Structure 1
Amino acid sequence: MDTFSKYLLTALIGIVALGQFVQVITRYVLQVPVMGLEETMLYPTLWLYILGAVNASRENTHIRANVLEIFIHSERGHTILAIVGEIISLIVGLWLLSWAWDYTRYAWRVWKESPTLYIPTFYSDIALVIGLALMMVYTVWHLFGHIRTLSRGEAQ
Structure 2
Amino acid sequence: MLKKLDNFLENVENIILIITGIAVCLLIFIGAMMRYIFKIDFYGSEEIILFISFWLYFTGSAVAAKKNSHIDANMLSIFIKNQKTLQIFSLIKNLIALFIAVIVTFWCYKYVSWSADMGAASNVFKLPNIIGQIPIFISFFIWDIYLIRDLINNFKNLKTFSS
**What is the TM-score of this pair, normalised by structure 1?**
0.93
What's 1:21 paired with?
29
Farther off after superposition, 119-128 or 16-25: 119-128
How big is each residue's C-alpha offset from its partner over 1:38-87, in whole Å with a ceiling of 9 and x where there is no partner?
A: 11111110111111111100101111111222221111122111111111
Amino acid of the residue matched to residue 115 of structure 1?
N
How big is each residue's C-alpha offset from its partner over 1:67-122, in whole Å with a ceiling of 9 and x where there is no partner?
A: 22222111112211111111110011111112111111111110111111111111
Aligned counterpart in structure 1 of residue 118 of structure 2, from 90, 99, 110: 110
1:76 corresponds to 2:108: no
What's 2:154 paired with?
146
Distance 2:50 2:18 in 1: 17
Give the number of aligned pairs.
155
What's the offset of the Cα at 1:26?
0.5
Identity %: 23
Distance 1:144 1:52 in 2: 23
What's the offset of the Cα at 1:152?
2.3
Distance 1:16 1:136 in 2: 28
Distance 1:153 1:67 in 2: 22
Aligned counterpart in structure 1 of residue 104 of structure 2, from 74, 96, 108: 96
Structure 1 stretches lacking a partner, 5+ long: none
What's 2:129 paired with?
121
Distance 1:105 1:7 in 2: 26
Distance 1:15 1:39 in 2: 13
Structure 2 stretches lacking a partner, 5+ long: 1-6
Distance 1:116 1:3 in 2: 33
Distance 2:113 2:15 in 1: 30
What's 1:51 paired with?
59
Aligned counterpart in structure 2 of residue 34 of structure 1, from 31, 42, 47: 42
**What is the TM-score of this pair, normalised by structure 2?**
0.89
Secondary structure at the counterpart of residue 76 of structure 1:
helix
Amino acid of the residue matched to residue 94 of structure 2?
E
Distance 1:24 1:79 in 2: 50
What's the offset of the Cα at 1:8?
2.0
Secondary structure at the counterpart of residue 153 of structure 1:
helix
